[in-house]
Amino acid sequence: AQSVAQPEDQVNVAEGNPLTVKCTYSVSGNPYLFWYVQYPNRGLQFLLKYITGDNLVKGSYGFEAEFNKSQTSFHLKKPSALVSDSALYFCAVRGTNAGKSTFGDGTTLTVKP
Amino acid sequence: DAEITQSPRHKITETGRQVTLACHQTWNHNNMFWYRQDLGHGLRLIHYSYGVQDTNKGEVSDGYSVSRSNTEDLPLTLESAASSQTSVYFCASSEHENEQFFGPGTRLTVL
């Protein structure tokens, strides 16, 4: 069985500071890892993914994530947070032989001016 | 541009009624999914399909059914709506190992 943990329900940062949203996973075989963002009253939007290759993945809106196989983590990062980054963030994992993804419970990011 | 749409966007119904939520995608994706989103539970998978005539149960499938007669559509039916099915429902589609594209959601209230 595959699973995802987002250990923080809420992350608060000041605008201009770096942000990290944590994600750890458990899966059989090699993982496919994803980050999505959800703004109020909207569907989820894809941010970035790790399939294979470079452990540092760059995505939309200046976000990046680092795949760490030994720690089974895929933390989302951004060097300088914006107020407009405030949203709900979901990490998802899918095993190589699985057709469906498992989502974490989400982390609410609040960036204060 | 390709897209995924859901209808209705809002629905109020009564306990015991049958309700069908529509999902239509123009990405030509084989994989389609239905999720529900509730506070404190994140996204939970209801049903999914890997192609025409294929349907599979997710982790919270009781009381729901789907059918896949073509590539574009995966309607979700609540056979006899219950108050516990009040939720926001999201449809998504994807191809192979790639990311999912989500619809805008349907807010369902069962009174």
Q: What is the pLDDT at residue A52?
A: 87
Q: Pick from B48, B91, B100 the residue to mutate for testing the A interface (most A CBs within 10 Å).
A: B100
pLDDT (average), residues A71-80:
97
Q: What is the pLDDT at residue B101?
A: 95
Least confident of A17-21, A40-44, B25-29, B57-61: A40-44
A60 CB within 8 Å of a chain B CB: no
Name the nearest CA neighbour of A21 among A67, A61, A71, A78: A78
For B104, the closest of A43, A96, A106 (CB atoms) is A43
In this predicted model, what pLDDT tens digit does every residue of A3-58 receive, in sequence order?
Answer: 999 999 999 999 999 999 999 999 988 899 999 999 988 899 999 999 988 999 99
Residue B93 above 90 pLDDT?
A: yes
User: Could B42 and A41 be called an inter-chain contact, meaning their C-beta atoms sit closer than 8 Å?
Assistant: no
pLDDT grade, residue B63 (50/70/90)? very high
For A99, the closest of B31, B90, B99 (CB atoms) is B31
A86 CB within 8 Å of a chain B CB: no
- Rounded to an integer, what distance in angstroms lies between the CA atom of residue B10 and that of residue B109? 8
Name the nearest CA neighbour of A75 among A88, A85, A63, A84: A63
Mark residue B105 as left, alpha or beta (left: phi above 0; alpha: psi -120 to 50; beta: remaining).
Answer: left
Please name the residue that has the structure tokens 């498992």: A102
A5 CB within 8 Å of a chain B CB: no
pLDDT (average), residues A86-105:
89
- Rounded to an integer, what distance in angstroms lies between the CA atom of residue B19 and that of residue A85? 36
pLDDT grade, residue A92 (50/70/90)? very high
Backbone φ and ψ for A85, nearest 5 degrees, come out as -80, -10
pLDDT (average), residues B67-87:
97
User: Could B97 and A104 be called an inter-chain contact, meaning their C-beta atoms sit closer than 8 Å?
Assistant: no
One-character DSSP codes across B47-92: EEEEETTEEEE-TT-TTEEE--SSSSB--EEESS--GGG-EEEEEE
Sign of the CA dihedral running B73, B90, A77, A17:
positive
For B102, the closest of A43, A51, A100 (CB atoms) is A43
Measured between beta carbons, the chain B residues lying within 8 angstroms of A104 are: 42
User: Nearest residue of A to residue B32 by CA position?
Assistant: A100
- Rounded to an integer, what distance in angstroms lies between the CA atom of residue A40 and that of residue A44? 10
pLDDT grade, residue A70 (50/70/90)? very high
Residue B65 above 90 pLDDT?
A: yes
For A43, the closest of B41, B48, B103 (CB atoms) is B103
User: Could A44 and B90 be called an inter-chain contact, meaning their C-beta atoms sit closer than 8 Å?
Assistant: yes
Q: What is the pLDDT at residue A41?
A: 86
